[in-house]
Amino acid sequence: MLLIIVDHHLHTPMYFFLSHLSFVDLCYSSTITPRILADLTSESKSISSSACATQMFSFAMFATSECFLVTSMAYDRYVAICRPLVYHRVMDKSMCWGLVSGTYVSSFFASLTHTITIFRYPLCGSIEINHFYCDIPPLLKLMCVHAHNRKLMVILMALIMGVVSFSVIAMSYMLIIYNIMGIRTAEGQRKAFSTCASHLTVVISFYSTVFGIYFRPSLGLNSDDTDKVFSIFYTVATPLLNPIIYSFKNTKVKRAVINILTMKPVHPSVRF
């Protein structure tokens, strides 16, 4: 985030979205990791209902924001490769801020709806969450008042958002691949695909874990221990890996790091 702010070479739409992706990763990892560390050193691993609701709301909001951000980044890559002549006109400042603002607003209301739906009535049963934190799937198991309708609403909302987001990404990459295959030289194809490789890696790592947690139970493959493994991966490992994935073999980021370490002057420019 600091590199993108201070280096004018990184003031482009792709890095603008990447800075917000890093911010979201920082936030939604911070809603989970400190609590896990605290529970590891405490005999009493209880949490109040209000704290649980706050944690679930925060995590759901930032996780949904990441889902929408990677979708926006897929659209950005589509315009860059399939419509390069109008790229700067299409992905201008207003478009970038509009996509990011829409991401945060829609994620806020989606998370608020999930939280109200789950915590509208007191949870019952054993009141024991078999998980590291207050995630949606284990909380759904504790609902008993109007449980069917509430579960259906939460699942349908998550399914619609996930399918729409994934469909946009899939369609974008289908068009990208079609255009890349039309490039005559192998060097040109390699350069075009290299601009999408980092984003595609992030998409695969994020959606593979999310689908593994939220859609595996619908297939009859339910295991709390497996859920915990997936959860640790996409709440701790994925936020750590995303900046590394985008920095590895990225000449612009390497150049920015060298400029910062060697105290080279950075010329000001208009940022998004």
Q: Could you give the CA distance from residue 142 to residue 173 in angstroms, rounded to a whole number?
A: 39
Mean pLDDT throughout 91-120?
92
pTM for this prediction: 0.82
Find the distance separating the first CA and the last CA of the chain, reported in whole Å.
Answer: 13
Rg (alpha carbons) of the chain, rounded to whole number: 21
Report the topology of domain 16-261: Rhopdopsin 7-helix transmembrane proteins (1.20.1070)
Task: Locate the domains of the chain by residue range.
Answer: 16-261
pLDDT band at residue 12, thresholds of 50, 70 and 90?
confident
pLDDT at 96: 93
Name the token pair of 187.
Answer: 């060097």
**Which of 37-46, 75-84, 198-207 is most confident?**
75-84
pLDDT at position 72 is: 92
Q: How confident is the model at residue 180, as a pLDDT? A: 83
Q: 220 pLDDT band (50/70/90 cuts)?
A: very low
Interatomic CA distance for residues 34 and 238, integer angstroms: 16
Rounded mean pLDDT of 170-191? Answer: 83
Cβ atoms 200, 176 nearer than 8 A: no
